[in-house]
Amino acid sequence: MPRQRSTSGVASVRLSASPRSQRRQRRERLPLAALARRLLTLPRVGEVELVASQQGLRALHFTAVGEASHLELEPTTAAHAILDRAERYLVAYASRSGGDDGAGLPAMPRLDLTALTPFTREVLQLTSAIAFGQTQSYGTIAWQLGKPGAARAVGQAMGRNPVPILIPCHRVLAGSGLGGFSCGDELKRILLAIEGVTLFRR
């Protein structure tokens, strides 16, 4: 099966869509031909799949090695440019050493969050404002929303974050410690360590 190599040296894979990919596409609510996909391997993070529409980056999926079934079905120039920008940002991000302030990271790609509910978009907008290397609690986000009793609903909305890392829900912690993460506690610790945030295991 042919593999394409991107200019940054990270592989882009061209394959037919598997049932798993088709299920994801249905969740993304766009015709398959309208989506461009790319598979990247990031230092310390592993394999991720990027999904872009013409409007912006629509999803980032963490995948196990060899499990992705990903393609670029003659995507538009706009979708290609979004994938290129996302790749540059993610490769630079994953290559950081803990303790810096994130200065000098490439510009992030435009995001396409049109499939999300207004509440989820509002939660993720506040999450996006948390700076590199900083953290907040679910309760703080709920308070910023004017809904101080909604910490659980905030956590559930973050579980629907389609573009982790780019919308940094890993920077949101429980009042008692790490808190949840849709992609697993260990990956949350890795992302925080990239940003110089160290948490003690309980």
Contact status, residue 37 vs residue 49, Cβ threshold 8 Å: yes
- Tell me which residue has tokens 């079934």: 69
Q: What is the DSSP letter of 18?
A: P
Residue 22, Ramachandran bin (φ over 0: left; ψ between -120 and 50: alpha; else beta): alpha
| Contacts of residue 64, Cβ cutoff 8 Å, sequence gap at least 6 | 46, 47
pLDDT at res. 75: 55
Q: What is the reported pTM?
A: 0.77
pLDDT, one tens digit for every residue, the chain (202 residues)? 444 434 333 333 333 344 444 445 444 454 555 788 899 999 989 999 999 988 999 999 987 544 444 444 555 678 889 999 999 999 999 988 766 777 889 999 999 999 999 999 999 999 999 999 999 999 999 999 999 989 999 999 999 999 999 999 999 988 766 676 767 778 888 899 999 887 755 4
Residues annotated as part of the active site: 169
In the chain, list all ranges with CATH 1.10.10.10: 118-194
- CATH code matching the domain that covers 118-194, chosen among 3.20.20.70, 1.50.10.10, 3.40.50.10490, 1.10.10.10: 1.10.10.10
What burial class does residue 201 get, using C-beta atoms within 10 Å of its C-beta: 0-12 exposed, 13-18 middle, 19+ buried? exposed
**35: closest CA among 11, 18, 59?**
59
